Amino acid sequence: MLEIVRFCVTRNAVSEKNLLPNLFFTCPEAIFVFGDSLSDTGNLQIAFPGNPLTTLNPPYGESYTFTNEPGRNRYCDGRIVPDFIAQAFGFPFIEPILLKNVPGFPINFTHGVNFAYAGATAEPKTTFTPIYLEFELQQFFTYKAALSNSPQSSTPLSFVSNAAYLILEIGGDDFFYEYQKGVTPQTVLQNNVSNAVAALVSTVENLIQSGAKTIIVGNQPPQGCNPAILTANSGNPGLTKDSNGCLIEYNQVDIEFNSQLQSQLTLLQDLNLLGITIIQFDFYSAILELITNPAKYGFNPSTPLQVCCGFGGEYNFNPFVTCGNSGSVPLPSGGSIFVNITTAPNPQEYIQWDGVHFTQAAYKAIATFLLEGRFVIPAIIPGVNLAQACNLNFSQF
């Protein structure tokens, strides 16, 4: 069985070659965010207002009240990783680029912009979604050009070059859409992984060419531990589970994606030694750490794979009625039952939020890992700890 290598490195373990780009590292003055629903702070909600497929009803957003922001716009019970990173740096929350299109609504792009869209893919897959990583990149270039042509005192142009460019995760939807069509993990492994990696690496290359100095790239978390995928494959005798109860065949797709991504980003770093820092975050191992040792991080040890906001079954997830919605759920014995999922007790005890996304508590742990240098490569001078290097403040967590 394939195993991913955890990227925990100490300063002494990092080669002199890998230290060179970090000599030029400076703490970011802004954050530009790209990705999918794990990073979206409202773009999809603004792009498709009132669409029942994208509307987030209670209990989404129940764990945190965002002031100066419209409604429930995160696929979570509260904050997500970009929110915690912004708070640690003392920045305002990184608002979605489309917020500028909301009439009469104040925007604050003084420390970055969020270009992530829920449902976005790495490579173009317009059959499923009109949004993919290259689309997000072009929106960034349009924004950057507008700043260059009409500088705004509220968004200094210098922030663009002195920013951190965060791609926490993308590629998961490339695979998930295939799974929804009934495509097997083995086929996805053969047909989709390399293309998704290529799209992500190409984006990093384009960001470097456009002047980016610090780029944070997360790999793919283990989809074989995803309650929606576990539920869809319940009783499938052709699949095997690991000691955590996760589906090995699905996780192997992510492991291969992560292996290829690490190799190509490491090569890209070697080709850009002077002034460029590519920080790779091992999202896969970070999530496995929470699932394997839930009590260590304050989670209920009996629910690492169970959904907080859901209904019924081994994983408290039902595809017929999902978080924030109501409807009839078929019963195994026949007939159906009407459910209305408007509450989600004790989300702080859960890792899994709605079957696809994580809870605010889980994102807090992930952000802490990233900022404190756990599951991160390469090291950042004066260590692997961004929190120390940039004197970050976690008091708002």
Report how far residue 236's alpha carbon sits from residue 241's, in angstroms, rounded to the nearest whole number.
11
Q: 63, 173, 354, 395: which is the annotated catalytic residue?
A: 354
Q: 77, 83, 254, 357: which is the annotated catalytic residue?
A: 357
Q: Is 259 among the residues known to form the active site?
A: no
Report how far residue 113's alpha carbon sits from residue 144's, in angstroms, rounded to the nearest whole number.
11
Q: 36, 37, 40, 83: which is the annotated catalytic residue?
A: 37
Q: What is the 3-state secondary structure (H, E, C) of the chain?
A: CCCCCCCCCCHHHCCHHHHHHHHHCCCCCEEEEECCCCCCCCHHHHHCCCCCCCCCCCCCCCCCCCCCCCCCCCCCCCCCHHHHHHHHHCCCCCCEHHHHHCCCCCCCCCCEEECCCCCCECCCCCCCCCCEHHHHHHHHHHHHHHHHHCCECCECCHHHHCEEEEECCCCHHHHHHHHHCCCCHHHHHHHCHHHHHHHHHHHHHHHHHCCCCEEEEECCCCHHHCHHHHHHCCCCCCCCECCCCCEHHHHHHHHHHHHHHHHHHHHHHHHCCCCCEEEEECHHHHHHHHHHCHHHHCCCCCCCCCECCCCCCCCCCCCCCCCCCEEEEECCCCCEEEEECCCCCCHHHCCECCCCCECHHHHHHHHHHHHHCCCEECCECCECCHHHHCCCCCCCC
Q: Is 154 among the residues known to form the active site?
A: no
- Best CA proximity match to 318, nearest among 301, 298, 339: 339
Residues classed as catalytic: 37, 354, 357
